Structure 1
Amino acid sequence: MPDASKPLFSRPALAAVMLLSTLAIWLLNLTAPSTKLPTPIIKTWSTESGIPVTWLSQSQWENSNKLEIRLVFNAEYSNPAIIRATLDMLLGDSLPLSTASINQRFSPLAARALSHYDTDNQIIGVTMNSEPDYLIPSLSLMTRWLQTPDFKPRSFDQWQRQQQTALSAPQSSWQPFSAKPVADFSDLSLDQMKDYYQSLKNAAASIIIIGHMTSESEERITRALNTISQDYRRSPPNPPIMQSETMNPNNQIVRPASTMGAPWQSQSAVELKPISSVEEWLSLQIWGTDLVATLNQQAHIDFVQLALNLSVQPPWVWWQTQYRNTLTLEPNTIQEANSEASMKSLALLEPLPSTRDPEHFQALMDAFKAQLEQQTLSPTWWSDIATQVTHEGGALTLENFAADYQDAITRFTIEDYQSALETLLKPSSYQEIQVYQ
């Protein structure tokens, strides 16, 4: 039996053990996921009508009262004008016997309603305070609102007049790869709004809850969602549309017959392959950041805005370019801006700095990680991931994303980035609209 009065290790031996322990911890830190990125907890169940519910929470939210609820539908998308009109009317004065918009009614309860749609889904959401004094009346209002919304004729007439006024102004939005033309808002009727809202209820895909819930608030929210969805019917996820159905086979640059002067604005888009992993999502974040920075450095460009649509059918990236006033440009710069290939070349054909310079790539990655450490603490960020990046039945689900994103970001390399871009981007689908001064 060892003598308890004597140390188990001599001083040199103890120093060696401490050094080995330090090295082991250092190696673990190199291989372990970033501890600054939270690990979400996911719980799933179904409403009484069979609509799947996913609740995402994390320990960092235990002292937070922000709660996000998203109702996701995948009704027919053949006429985007009807979708927009229905959602606009729903967020208007759609409570019976009320002239206040739904958000005017939610405001005193520290809550806010929102909507969103893309080629995959239509989304109705409410951001609310989870404290009982706010949660209980918010759920009551949400239930009354969504069960039997009142689409009023006078409100619809006013909405139509607003749309006609907006149409007379220069348009900055553009829907690329659209298989069917967008209907004129003047052709819509109030009955179409009512019918489309019913079609939403018949095509419920899922319900997403993001934030911290106590057992009591979980019970209250579950009851409210059961009531709201009692006449919902579940619809399977929309299957991906084949490329030939979605994109214009003629790669084109649309410009007016007269092209005097330099371009004033252009809108560009390119189709993407549906993302199937966190690495592919991450690649698009880095690529989009570098693309905007690279374009903004061009002498003839004033600023660039970029948006990703990561729907399943089909996903695409869109960017709008505002050009500098020709009075401030050199003649050779005007000629460069007029080049049909210049925008496509800068965006898709010439390698971006992040694809060829490891240091530039790493700088973008470090900046993105720092940003992500803040974003992942936001329930709203996770709500967008749940409804606009991941898709039920798709290759990348919310569960996959939550489980994989820490490791994927930790081990992501420039080689992974280069490989993903080669797969994701489809330069042959490039489309552009140019507006000239």
Structure 2
Amino acid sequence: MSDNSKPLFSRPVLAAIMLFCTLAIWLLNLTALNSKLPSPKIEKWTTTSGIPVVWLKQAEWQDSNKLEIRFSFRSVTTNITLIQTTLAMLMSDSLPLSTASINQRLAPLAASANSYYDHENQTIGLTLSNEPQYLTPTLSLVTNWLRQPDFKPRTFDVWQNQHQAHPPVQHELEAVLFFDKTNNQSNEFKTEVSLKQVTDYYQSLKSSAATVFIVGDMSPETKQIVEEAINTISQDYELSRASAETIRYESVSSTIQQNEGELWQTRSAIALMPVSSIKEWISLQIWGADLVSTLNQQQHIDFVQLAFTLSPQRPWAWWNIQYRDSVTEAENEPVDDASRFMSAKSLVFVEQVPSVNDEKTFETLLDNFKQQLEQQTLSPTWWSYIATQVTHEDGELTVEQFAKGYKEAVDSFTLEDYQTALQRLLKPSSYQEIQVYQ
């Protein structure tokens, strides 16, 4: 018995269908991985004194003359006021025989200087032009400045008078978060330092060097000029040994009330586990955006400020809530009941975070994050921030790993990744709150 059945499609039609399916799958893959994120290339070498140098470059910067240089240090200390004062003095009139600040001197050369500090990392940063007519005089000035700064007594006295009575909020929060008030260790959070301490601390930074980062486009000529300047500046630098230490601090959740009357501000802090992957870093960005958005929706809150300190061993987050004056509070303003009574402390518990419990909220925050990231990653300044304040060359997440893997991490990020990361990162038992009344 013969089989007279015929195929449903002829060979040409079948080939066309297969081609169409292939194209459809290709288009779906394109749609799924739709983030426009560049992948910088990394080049490494060491200075003549043995300090690692990491250069980030990408094609999008070839027509830009902006260059970022960051000298990163790892001087672990609890005397945050000393770090703050030293770097503030450095950024003032610390050039020998000069009454102008370093940035006043750098401005005509299309350059500027900046600094960053936390309890584990310190950074001296330069933003400059890679054009030789500006680059050479800028690096000459900077070399003289950083090799032997002149910390002037009069400038020091003015700084002390202006800042001694009002230390930054984060200093107070950090003391409460990481140090037992009954322990002598808390006494290291002083507000008084001497000029000799400042001079000595700057010299100690030179023996605590971690990495020099360069971000931006450099021609072979520019690279040679920069490399020679970095060698000269870091001639007496030594590698930091702080990375070999293990620092662990435990604290119990508490609330401190300052003054009496109507609640004016709430200052909150929470310890975090060290960030070990790109997806954990993404999770903190979404959690932070959710925290600020959720609290800002509440009728009695004027605004919220949030900051992360992602140091390698003892990271933490802190935020400041400014409350509205009861007289100016909007009346009959519609507000979501779920967010009205959401306290600052509740948002450190993963199970109470809105974006963990609502997939639509999560997707909205993730989309917003992706859009912002596409703009941020085009900036050398942003990559300088990632290199010095998010990744750590002696840690689990380096800037090279970040540059190579962040696009895939963003494109494949899921709600499950988010939930898992927050469960590991957030330490609710460490939550500290300072309530300020007026």
TM-score, reference length from structure 1: 0.88
SS for the counterpart of 2:406 is: helix
Decide whether the 8 Å contact of 2:301 with 2:322 is kept in 1. Answer: yes
| CA distance in 1 between partners of 2:394 and 2:76 (Å) | 17
Task: Specify the alignment match of 1:23 in structure 2.
Answer: 24
SS for the counterpart of 1:416 is: helix
In the alignment, residue 381 of structure 2 is paired with which amino acid?
Answer: T
Matches within 5 A, 1:358-437: 358-437=359-438
> Which string of whole-angstrom CA distances, capped at 9 and with x for unpartnered residues, describes residues 292-321 of structure 1?
111111222221111111112311110111
| CA distance in 1 between partners of 2:168 and 2:39 (Å) | 45
Decide whether the 8 Å contact of 2:268 with 2:319 is kept in 1. Answer: yes
Task: Specify the alignment match of 2:357 in structure 1.
Answer: 356
Task: Specify the alignment match of 2:36 in structure 1.
Answer: 36
- The answer as to 2:117 corresponding to 1:112 is no
Structure 1 position 162, deviation (Å): 2.1
Task: Specify the alignment match of 2:92 in structure 1.
Answer: 92
In the alignment, residue 385 of structure 2 is paired with which amino acid?
Answer: D
Structure 1 position 367, deviation (Å): 1.0
Change (3 A) 1:190 1:320: same
| CA distance in 1 between partners of 2:109 and 2:223 (Å) | 18
Structure 1 position 83, deviation (Å): 1.1
Decide whether the 8 Å contact of 2:92 with 2:102 is kept in 1. Answer: yes
SS for the counterpart of 1:302 is: strand
Structure 1 position 20, deviation (Å): 3.8
Change (3 A) 1:276 1:349: closer
Decide whether the 8 Å contact of 2:80 with 2:171 is kept in 1. Answer: no
Structure 1 position 169, deviation (Å): 9.4
Structure 1 position 74, deviation (Å): 1.1
Q: Which of the numbers 252, 255, 278 marks the counterpart of 1:253? A: 255
Task: Specify the alignment match of 2:298 in structure 1.
Answer: 298
Task: Specify the alignment match of 1:345 in structure 2.
Answer: 346
| CA distance in 2 between partners of 1:61 and 1:324 (Å) | 44
User: Superposition RMSD on alpha carbons, in Å?
Assistant: 2.7
> Which string of whole-angstrom CA distances, capped at 9 and with x for unpartnered residues, describes residues 76-96 of structure 1?
413111111111111111111
| CA distance in 1 between partners of 2:396 and 2:167 (Å) | 40
Change (3 A) 1:317 1:40: same
- Indicate the larger mover: 146-155 or 220-229: 146-155
SS for the counterpart of 1:327 is: coil
Decide whether the 8 Å contact of 2:61 with 2:217 is kept in 1. Answer: yes
> Which string of whole-angstrom CA distances, capped at 9 and with x for unpartnered residues, describes residues 53-75 of structure 1?
00001111010111100001112
Structure 1 position 322, deviation (Å): 1.0
Task: Specify the alignment match of 1:324 in structure 2.
Answer: 324
- The answer as to 2:202 corresponding to 1:202 is no
| CA distance in 2 between partners of 1:413 and 1:170 (Å) | 37
- The answer as to 2:283 corresponding to 1:283 is yes
Matches within 5 A, 1:176-195: 176=174, 177-179=177-179, 180-181=186-187, 183-185=189-191, 187-195=192-200
In the alignment, residue 357 of structure 2 is paired with which amino acid?
Answer: R
Decide whether the 8 Å contact of 1:174 with 1:267 is kept in 2. Answer: no
In the alignment, residue 403 of structure 1 is paired with which amino acid?
Answer: K
Structure 1 position 108, deviation (Å): 0.3
| CA distance in 2 between partners of 1:214 and 1:329 (Å) | 57
Decide whether the 8 Å contact of 2:350 with 2:356 is kept in 1. Answer: no
Change (3 A) 1:78 1:147: same
Structure 1 position 158, deviation (Å): 2.1
In the alignment, residue 256 of structure 2 is paired with which amino acid?
Answer: V
Change (3 A) 1:57 1:171: closer
| Percent identity of equivalent pairs | 52
Change (3 A) 1:90 1:329: closer
In the alignment, residue 367 of structure 1 is paired with which amino acid?
Answer: N
- The answer as to 2:225 corresponding to 1:220 is yes
Change (3 A) 1:292 1:108: same
Structure 1 position 183, deviation (Å): 4.7
Decide whether the 8 Å contact of 1:270 with 1:316 is kept in 2. Answer: yes
- The answer as to 2:243 corresponding to 1:229 is no
In the alignment, residue 104 of structure 2 is paired with which amino acid?
Answer: Q
In the alignment, residue 172 of structure 2 is paired with which amino acid?
Answer: W
SS for the counterpart of 1:238 is: helix
Decide whether the 8 Å contact of 2:350 with 2:423 is kept in 1. Answer: no
